[in-house]
Chain A
C-alpha cells in the first residue's frame, strides 16, 4: 500500500510539477504577449478588384452639423473625381459615413467601428477639435491614417499630434498671427477675448492672448462662452461695460451664428473692432451682411482671382446642383483638398501601406496653382499640419454677384503665420511604434 501510495504520490507530484511547468510556460507566454511588442500588423487581401474603403467621420448633428455636411461634400467630390479617372491603383474608392454628432465620445466609438468592423483603410473628417482629438487617439492605436480636415485648435498639430494624423486647416495661432499685429496697430491695445468653452476656443484664445501681450496689448477680460449658448445678451452687456477697443472672438458653429445675430442687432459690430479668429463659410452663408461684421480669417474663398478657382466652383455646382449653398466655402475646400492629397499619396506610394502613405504625406508639397491659393503649401513633417496661405477678410458691402459675401483684405504666406509653438509641443510617435497595415 505504502509503495503503491508512494508511487502514486510520485506520479501525482510529477504531474503537479509538469502542470506547474506548463502553467509557468503559459503564464510566461501570456506575460510576454502582454509585455510586448505592442505593435502588430494587419494585412488584408488587397485584391485589385477590392475597393479602397474610406471612413468619413464628419458631424451630421450637433453644433457643427452644417459644416460637417459641407466637409463631407468636399471629400465626396474628390473621391468621385478619382473614381472617374479609374480609381486609385486601379481600385475603386468607396466611402462609408457615420455621424460623429459633434461629440468626442461618439467620435471615438465611430472611429473604432469604422476601423475594426468595416476595415476602413483611412479615416477623414472633423470640424470639432475635441472630436478630432478623440478620433485620432483611436486611429493611432490601430495605425490608421486619419485626416483632420477642418478642426483648427493649435493642439491638433501641437500636443495632441499623432503620427497617423494630418491637419489640413489653418489653426488658431496661424489666424491670430495674421490678424493681431495689424489689429493692434489699427484699432488699439485694449482687447477682450470671447472664448468658446472647449478645446479649440481655449487654445485659440491662448494663442491670441500671447500674441497680443507680445505686441504690447492688454487683455482686459476673457468671457467664456459655453457650447450651446443661444442668448449672448448678458455677455454682450459685459463687453460694453468693459469697453474694449478690440474683441477677439473664438466662438464657432451655431454659437457663433447666434452671437453674430445678437451683436448685429445691438450694432456693436460698428462700436468696436471685432476679430473673429476664423470664419467658416457654412456658418455665415445666407445671413444678411450686417451679421458679417469685423475681420476674420479663412484659408480659401470662392472669388479668389486665381487659376482654377472658377473651374472648381463650376465642378462643385455640377456635382451638387440642388445644394442650397450655391458656391463652395473653406470647409468644403479643406475636405476636398485633404482627400485629393491622400488619394494622390496612395497613388505615388503605389500601395495602401500606412507607413508608406504617411511618408508620402510628410513630404507633401503642393504648388500654389494646385492649391488655388497665393503661396505654395507644404506639410510640416514635424507637426503634420499643412502650411498654407492665410487670408483675412471682411464683409463685402458692394457685392455685384450673389454669394460674394467676403472682401479679402490680405494674404499671408505660410512662413509669416507659422505656428512655432506646435513644433515645440508636438512629439510624433515613431513609425516603429505605429501599427502597420495594408488594405
Chain B
C-alpha cells in the first residue's frame, strides 16, 4: 500500500467527514440548547430536499402559465432560490414541531423522544403522500455536474461543490454562534437556562428560534446531500443515525466536537470503505465505542446540564 494509493482515500474520507459534519450541525444545535434528541432530524433533512424539488420544478396545474414562465428561468436561479427558501420552509415546520414539544418540557426525556419519533413518522408519511414513494432526482445546475480528473483519478464535481458549501456553512454557523450576540444568548441558554431567563431573555422564543434554526440546517443538509445519496421518502434515516453518532463522538453541545466528530466518522468510513469495505458502516460504531470507552462525554464534551 503506497502513499499515492492511500492519499485519495484520505482526501475522500476528509470530504465525506465535512459532509457528515454538515448533517450533524442542526442536530448538535438542538441537543446542545434544548437538551432534546430530535429524532425527526432525518425527516426534516428529507423534507428540505423535497421542498427544493418542488421549488426547482413545481407542478402548478392550477396555473400553467405561471409554471411555464417560472420553469423557463435558468436552473441555477431556481436552484439558488431552493437553497434559500427550502431551509426556511423546513425551519417553519421545525418551529411548529417545537410548539408541540412545549408540553413535554420539564418532563422525562422519553416524552420528547417519543414526540420527535412520532413527528418523524408523520413527516415521512406526509412526504410519501405528497411526493409519492418512488425515487426522485434533485436537479443541480449544469456546471456542478460531471467529473474532473485529479492525480489520475476521477472525482465528482458535485461532491467538491458540496464540500465547499459545507465548509462555508460550518464557518457561517460558527461565526453566528461565536461572534454574534444571538450566538452568545444561545450558548448561554445551553449552559444555564435559568440564569438566561433571570436576565430577562425570553427563553421560550429562544427555543423556538433555535429549533427552527436547527431544522433549517437539517433541511439545507438534505438539499446538499440528496444529489449524492438519492431522494426517497425514507432517506432521512440515512442522516439521523450518523448525526446522532457524530454528536456523541464529538461531545454533546460542542460545535467543534460536531465538526471533528464528523471528520473522524468520514475518515473511518472512507478508509474502511477502500480497504475493508464490509466494515465501512460498522467502523463508525466501533469509533463510537472506542471514544465513549475513554471519554464518556465525547471528544470535546463538557459536563453538561444533562448530567445534573
A262 touches B135 (CB 8 A): no
Q: Measured between C-beta atoms, what is the minimum distance from B216 to chain A in Å? A: 22
Interface membership of A245, Cβ < 8 A: no
Tell which of B146, B269, B282 touches A231, judged by Cβ atoms closer than 8 Å.
B269
Interface membership of B171, Cβ < 8 A: no
Interface membership of B185, Cβ < 8 A: no
Q: Measured between C-beta atoms, what is the minimum distance from A333 to chain B in Å? A: 17
Partner-B contacts on A (CB < 8 A): 61, 65-66, 69, 197, 223-226, 228-235, 237-238, 240-241, 254, 257-258, 261-262, 265-268, 271, 282-288, 291, 324-325
Tell which of A66, A231, A287 touches B228, judged by Cβ atoms closer than 8 Å.
A231
A237 touches B280 (CB 8 A): no
A234 touches B135 (CB 8 A): no
A257 touches B154 (CB 8 A): no
A69 touches B227 (CB 8 A): no
Interface membership of B277, Cβ < 8 A: yes
By a CB distance below 8 angstroms, the chain A residues around B191 are: none
B146 touches A234 (CB 8 A): no
A271 touches B281 (CB 8 A): no
B232 touches A237 (CB 8 A): no
B270 touches A234 (CB 8 A): yes
B16 touches A324 (CB 8 A): no
Q: Measured between C-beta atoms, what is the minimum distance from A252 to chain B in Å? A: 13
* Chain B interface, DSSP helix/strand/loop, else mixed: helix
Interface membership of B167, Cβ < 8 A: no
A66 touches B159 (CB 8 A): no
Residue of B nearest to A226 (CB): B281
A65 touches B277 (CB 8 A): no
| Residues of B within 8 A of A (CB-CB), count | 42
A226 touches B277 (CB 8 A): yes
Name, among A65, A238, A266, the residue most crowded by chain B CB atoms within 10 Å (CB to CB): A266
Interface membership of B12, Cβ < 8 A: yes
CA distance A14 to B120 in the complex (A): 71
CA distance A61 to B128 in the complex (A): 12
A257 touches B230 (CB 8 A): yes
Q: Measured between C-beta atoms, what is the minimum distance from A335 to chain B in Å? A: 16
Tell which of A65, A223, A267, A291 touches B146, judged by Cβ atoms closer than 8 Å.
A267
Known: A65-B133, A231-B228. A267 touches B273 (CB 8 A): no
By a CB distance below 8 angstroms, the chain A residues around B154 are: 240, 266-268, 271
B135 touches A265 (CB 8 A): no
A324 touches B133 (CB 8 A): yes
Known: A228-B281, A265-B158, A286-B135. A234 touches B230 (CB 8 A): no
- 8 A Cβ contacts from B207-253 to A: 227-230, 232, 234, 238
Known: A224-B277, A254-B230, A266-B147. A237 touches B153 (CB 8 A): yes
A231 touches B16 (CB 8 A): yes
B135 touches A285 (CB 8 A): yes
A234 touches B12 (CB 8 A): yes
A324 touches B146 (CB 8 A): no
Tell which of A225, A265, A324 touches B145, judged by Cβ atoms closer than 8 Å.
A265
Known: A234-B270, A240-B153, A282-B134. A66 touches B232 (CB 8 A): yes
Flag B173-216 by CB within 8 Å of A: 1 or 0 each: 00000000000000000000000000000000000000000000
User: What 5 pairs between A and B have smallest CB-CB spacing?
Assistant: A234-B273, A324-B132, A224-B278, A265-B156, A234-B274
Q: Measured between C-beta atoms, what is the minimum distance from A117 to chain B in Å? A: 25
Interface membership of B297, Cβ < 8 A: no
Q: Measured between C-beta atoms, what is the minimum distance from A267 to chain B in Å? A: 5
Q: Measured between C-beta atoms, what is the minimum distance from B45 to chain A in Å? A: 12
By a CB distance below 8 angstroms, the chain B residues around A291 are: 137
- 8 A Cβ contacts from B122-165 to A: 132-137, 145-147, 153-159
By a CB distance below 8 angstroms, the chain A residues around B146 are: 265, 267
Q: Measured between C-beta atoms, what is the minimum distance from B226 to chain A in Å? A: 9
B227 touches A261 (CB 8 A): yes
Q: Measured between C-beta atoms, what is the minimum distance from A206 to chain B in Å? A: 15
By a CB distance below 8 angstroms, the chain B residues around A233 are: 12, 15-16, 156, 159, 270, 273
